[in-house]
Every structure is written in structure tokens, then in C-alpha cells.
Amino acid sequence: MIGCLRDRTLVRLLYEEGSTRQQRHLRRCARCSEQYAALSRARDVAATVLREAVLRPVDRMALAGRNVGGLFQRPAVRVIAPLGVAAAFAVALIVVLRAATMPVAGSGARPPAGFSLDDVVASAFTLDDAGDWVDADADDLRWQAALGGQRPCETQDGFSDPYCN
Amino acid sequence: MQRMVGACASQGADEYDDLYRQHHARIGRLCRLLLRDDHEAEDVTQEVFVVLYRAYLRGPRLVRWAPWLTRVAVNACHGRRRSRWWRLWHADSGAVDVAGVPVQDPTPEAQAITAEQRRGVLAVFNTLSLRQQEVFLLRYVEGYSTDEVATMLGIRPGSVKRHLFRATHAFQKALRPSRGAQ
């Protein structure tokens, strides 16, 4: 039939809001009546299902898993995540390589293997220096004796040393 | 005087209990359908009745409690779904599996609906926008008029009709018999 009603008009008639002319057309036109009945049935079925349905409780763990999975489906995350992983890997690689090639602190001043306390003493107190130093303090026999590998028989406090030479 | 206040308080408590009994299941169902999460729906339903209790404590008012409660519930669900936390954890909840939805004490009309139709309706309902869901539920499941729905949601009646048209059209498409079945 020419001039059949549009879906929007049929829905308006479903709310009992159409004009009398449209209602009259609906009563006469088989095609519009059929379409109207289908709309009305869909509305009633949907309302009945929603009125009587009790939704299944949400499995929160499954939902959380799905959301985390869904996060990586987002285009922005799909681009940023591999770049982030690559950047983190590059930084880690640089840190490891620098740690491997960097000299240990103080390693340049490390003494050679045969270096001993005697060498330190020998370099700190050369014989000439020792002579000057002893001359400067000539009264102190103990120092002279010590430098000569001897022990004085009389100590500074007046007692005699039984092991003196 | 104290006895009179006590009597009034007791009467108020009785009325509150009546309202709770009358509307708790309805508000709970509405919240469940809007939030699609039983725990959250229970939470929001409790919040709604706490708001009712506070409103009741302020004294008797000339209020039609059913639409008032519905409005509070819809706003609470709206607020919950808009929260950052909700968006983070329920971003994908539109895809919640609704197959095999149990039906409590089905009416003869409900018994006539096939499992396939039921699945189709719930699948379409999941794809509707939140506003379309609210409008359809309030208009056809709760049975409010178009103007009442518009007032409850704070939108124009024209917008209500537009949302209803889209929702009804989507349901009709889903429930249209397949060519093979004809």
C-alpha cells in the first residue's frame, strides 16, 4: 500500500501517540498492522524477559582477567606496550654493559703484589733523612740505638733494661 | 509528650518497613539490570534505602515514594557506573555472559518465550546505551509514563521517545524470525 507508516511512527502509535489519520491507516493496512504487531510483540517479550530475569552473579576474577586482557586490546596500549618493553630492555642492557666495563674504584692505586710494610718504611725513612732527624734530636740516645738495631741499657725513667745490648 | 514522639517515631518506622518491603525487590532488580553485578546492585540498593531512611527522619512529606525511590536508584546506578573505579574494573562488563539466565517463577507469557528469544533480548539489552537501558526499563518494566520517565531522568519527553524507539527497534530486529525458520 502506498504511504505506509514509518517505523518511527509505528513506535509512536505503540505509545498511543499517533494522529487519528495514522491510526486509521494502521487499522486498514495489512502490512503496517503486521509491522506494528511485530514491534508490539518485541516490546512485550523484552519487557517480560527483563522483568523476570535474574542475571547470573558476575565472576569477579574472570571479569578482572578479561579486563586486563582487554587492556592490551586497546590500540594505544598495543602500540605503547611493546615500545615500553623495548625501552626498558634497552635501559637494562645499558646498565649491565656499563657495570661490566666500568673500572673498580681505587683499582689504579692498587700496590703491586710484592709491596710490603718494609718497603713503606724504607721509602718513608731514607737513611739520610733519618740521620738529619736523629741529629736534630741528638740527646735522645734511644732513637739512635733503635735506628742501629740496639736497645739502650738505661731507659728514660731510670730503670735498667736487662735485655739491652 | 515524650510518649507522643515515641509513638510518631514508631509509626514512622512501621511506614519505613512497609516501604522497604514493597520496594526493595523492585529496586534491587532495577539496580541489577542497570549494573549487571549482583554485589554492586545490593550495595546500591542499600544506599538507596539509607537515603530513604534519612529522608524519612526529616519528617513526613507529601512524596510519591515509588517514583522517588526509582529516581534515587537510577541516579545512584548512574553515579556508580561513572566512577573511575567502575570504568577500570567493569570496562568490559557489557560482554557478561547471559546465556542460561535463570528465571524465577515464570509467568505463562514468560514460559512462551523461547530460550533463544531470551538470549537475544539480553544480548541486545547489553548492547544498548545506558540511557536507552534506563528509559526502556523505566517505561516498560517499571511501567512509568513517558513524562514520568523524563522527569525522573531529567531529560525531555522527546528524548525519552527517541531512546525508546531505538531500544524497541533493536529488540524487534533481534526477535525477528530468521529466514530459515519461516
- Find chain B residues with C-beta within 8 A of A63's C-beta: 89-90, 92-93, 96
Residues 43-62 in A contacting B (C-alpha not used; CB under 8 Å): 43-58, 60
B59 touches chain A (CB under 8 A): no
C-alpha A85 chain-centroid distance: 11
pLDDT exceeds 60 at position A1: no
List, for residues A111-154, the tens digit of each pLDDT value.
Answer: 555 566 676 666 666 555 555 554 555 556 666 666 776 666 66
Is residue B46 a contact partner of residue B142, using CB atoms and an 8 Å limit? Answer: no
Is residue B134 a contact partner of residue B74, using CB atoms and an 8 Å limit? Answer: yes
Distance from CA of B36 to the nearest CA of A (A): 7
B146 touches chain A (CB under 8 A): yes
Distance from CA of A87 to the nearest CA of B (A): 26
Alpha-helical regions (H) of B36-156: 38-57, 65-82, 84-89, 108-112, 115-127, 130-136, 146-153
Which of A41, A55, A63, A67 best probes binding to B when mutated, by most B CB atoms within 10 angstroms?
A55
Return the SS3 of B101: coil
Distance from CA of B113 to the nearest CA of A (A): 7
pLDDT exceeds 80 at position B78: yes
List, for residues B12-50, the tens digit of each pLDDT value.
Answer: 667 788 888 888 888 988 888 888 777 888 889 999 999
Q: What ipTM, to 2 d.p.?
A: 0.71
Measured at the CA of B57, the angle between CA B47 and CA B63, to 5 degrees, comes to: 80
Please provide the average confidence, as pLDDT, over all residues in chain A.
72
List, for residues A21-75, the tens digit of each pLDDT value.
Answer: 888 898 889 999 998 998 888 888 888 888 776 555 555 566 566 666 666 666 6
Cβ within 8 Å of residue B118, ≥6 positions away? A49, A53, B101, B103
- d(Cα A121, Cα A137) in Å, to the nearest integer? 20
- d(Cα A101, Cα A133) in Å, to the nearest integer? 48
A154 — phi, psi (to 5°)?
-120, 125
- d(Cα A140, Cα A127) in Å, to the nearest integer? 17
In B19-35, which positions are buried (b, 16+ CB within 10 angstroms) versus exposed (e)?
beeebeebbbbbbbbbb
pLDDT value of position A90: 92
Residue B95 pLDDT grade (very low, low, confident, very high; cuts 50, 70, 90): very low
Note whether B161 contacts A15, CB cutoff 8 Å: yes
